[in-house]
Amino acid sequence: MTYGDMRDSLSDDLYLSHHDVEARYASDWSEAPAHLPEVVLRPRTIDDLSSMLSLAQQSGQRLVTQGGRTGLAGGATPQQSEWALTTERMTKILSLDPIGKTITVEAGASLQSIQEAAAEHDLMFPLDLGARGTATAGGITSTNAGGNQVIQYGVTRQLILGLTAVMPDGRIMAQDNHLLKNNAGFDLKQLLIGTEGVLGVVATVTFRLFPRRDHVKTAFCAMADFDGVTSLLHMAGKKLMGLSSFEVLWDDYMSEIISVTGKSEIFDKRHPFTILLECESSTDNDEMEQLLASALEAGILSDAIIATSEAQRAHFWSYRDAIAEILSDMAPNVNFDIGVPITKMKEFTTDIRQELQTAFPTIRQVTFGHIGDGNLHLSCTTGNVADQVPIEDLVFKRATQMGGTITAEHGIGILKKPWLDTCRTADEIAMMRQLKSLLDPAGILNHGRVI
């Protein structure tokens, strides 16, 4: 749509232009170069969205969809001459079925608002991540977000039953399914999950909810070596029926947390590995205590503390959630979310940390992640933006040589696109391109992301 078409066709309150466009629309949380869009489209309804997309397709105006802009791959950062399309006014919780355990929300609803709506009905939406207050239903769907409880409940894809999307030509693809099983024809909603907004705009999503467990036990465990970490993961998988989180923090992460946030040490001395372990149960049992006692007795654990109150549990999680503060302090940073098979994780982390230190002697690095899911985060900085690409090249090549992936949860976006062919075949990429040109022949949506 041209600027004139927009003024003729859309009411004034559906867009911001020129000096009304605030700086926050210029970038997401990644370090991709920011661009202030000339126009921000602000639909209130699915029909607004549909009109905007058909107008954009007619004129070839490129758009980038923005949810909470907490993405870390540059996907929501506008490129030159792109207009932004924000879901910030589509935030309603549309319905909640406490018996069928489903919730239907508009794309701009925040993750936290979904969690809170579920809790009001004594239910739980299990997807959780540090940016919960700002990340949106549309964003977590489009990136197929992972987070802290994947080990028990799976990634976002496993939590979605239905969705409605607006396709680049303005057509509404309504697959408003609320059933756990539905094999009637193609499952078209999968085209919108994890495809980072390149094939359509998610307008509403129906997620699964789960019974809220009355008893949650959270522990910090200290370990001397990575073999102990994998042994504890194995034991926890066997003995904790409701194992929901297994987050590993390396000693470099603990050093940064303490220096950046001023938090105190967890144990009376620093250990090479600190694990945040959580399990849920419907009964007040002592599975966690028994697991930790056996691991201590077997010499796997060096120390452990179990949270004794909800406040202490929140305090434990604050060490994990403080990554946002560390990343800000490390700017300009390179932030990885690679996947590596658990059997190769020890070799990979030992080698890569050493290789980075040797190649970039002034590097600051932190290592942590959802190790129960084989998902490792590595964030680092040399303070020099020119080092970014060589660092990425080193890490991505090493991860893929070991059978891993360059992104386990944040997506490809703009930033990882040059390395897509290290973990996807030429035929896979060609099929992705065919799908894109079939559904978005004018290339108006999230152009240049992923493929």
Ligand X SMILES: Cc1cc2nc3c(=O)[nH]c(=O)nc-3n(C[C@H](O)[C@H](O)[C@H](O)COP(=O)(O)OP(=O)(O)OC[C@H]3O[C@@H](n4cnc5c(N)ncnc54)[C@H](O)[C@@H]3O)c2cc1C
Q: Which tokens belong to 266?
A: 């967890």
Residues of this chain that bind ligand X (CB under 6 A): 28-29, 64-72, 75-76, 87, 107, 129-131, 135-136, 138-140, 142-143, 145-147, 196-197, 201-202, 323-324, 409-410, 413, 446, 449
Which of 43, 228 has the CB closer to ligand X?
43
Residue 38 Cβ, how far from ligand X at the closest point, in Å? 18
Give the DSSP H/E element, type plus range, for residue 392: helix 388-401
Residue 148 Cβ, how far from ligand X at the closest point, in Å? 6
Cα–Cα distance measured from residue 357 to residue 373, given in angstroms and rounded to the nearest whole number = 26
Which of 202, 236 has the CB closer to ligand X?
202
Residue 292 Cβ, how far from ligand X at the closest point, in Å? 25
Cα–Cα distance measured from residue 347 to residue 205, given in angstroms and rounded to the nearest whole number = 40
Query: Residue 197: which of 153, 142, 245, 278 has the closest Cα?
Result: 142
Residue 90 Cβ, how far from ligand X at the closest point, in Å? 8
Residue 107 Cβ, how far from ligand X at the closest point, in Å? 4
Give the DSSP H/E element, type plus range, for residue 207: strand 201-208
Half-sphere CA count of 134, side-chain side, radius 13 A: 11
Three-class SS state of 337: strand
Three-class SS state of 141: helix
Rounded to the nearest angstrom, the gap between the alpha carbon of residue 92 and the centroid of all alpha carbons in its chain is 21
Angle 409-396-136 (CA atoms, 0-180°, nearest 5)? 20
Largest CA distance in the chain: 74
Sign of CA pseudo-dihedral 191, 197, 202, 206? positive
Cα–Cα distance measured from residue 130 to residue 369, given in angstroms and rounded to the nearest whole number = 12
Q: Which tokens belong to 85?
A: 């399309």
Which of 370, 398 has the CB closer to ligand X?
370
Instruction: Output phi, psi for 256, to 5 deg.
Output: -65, -40
Which of 69, 217 has the CB closer to ligand X?
69
Cα–Cα distance measured from residue 227 to residue 86, given in angstroms and rounded to the nearest whole number = 46
Residue 66 Cβ, how far from ligand X at the closest point, in Å? 5
Which of 75, 372 has the CB closer to ligand X?
75
Closest residue to ligand X in the complex (CB): 139
Which of 27, 302 has the CB closer to ligand X?
27
Which of 138, 228 has the CB closer to ligand X?
138
Pairing of strands 172-175, 243-250: unpaired
Which of 196, 287 has the CB closer to ligand X?
196
Count H helices and E strands in the chain, helices first: 14, 18
Amino acid (one-letter) located at 49 = L
Which of 302, 375 has the CB closer to ligand X?
375
32, 79 Cβ separation under 8 angstroms:
no
Residue 293 Cβ, how far from ligand X at the closest point, in Å? 30
Residue 308 Cβ, how far from ligand X at the closest point, in Å? 26
Q: How many angstroms separate the first and last alpha carbons of the chain?
A: 24
Cα–Cα distance measured from residue 424 to residue 281, given in angstroms and rounded to the nearest whole number = 39
Residue 431 Cβ, how far from ligand X at the closest point, in Å? 20
Which of 53, 221 has the CB closer to ligand X?
53
Residue 220 Cβ, how far from ligand X at the closest point, in Å? 19
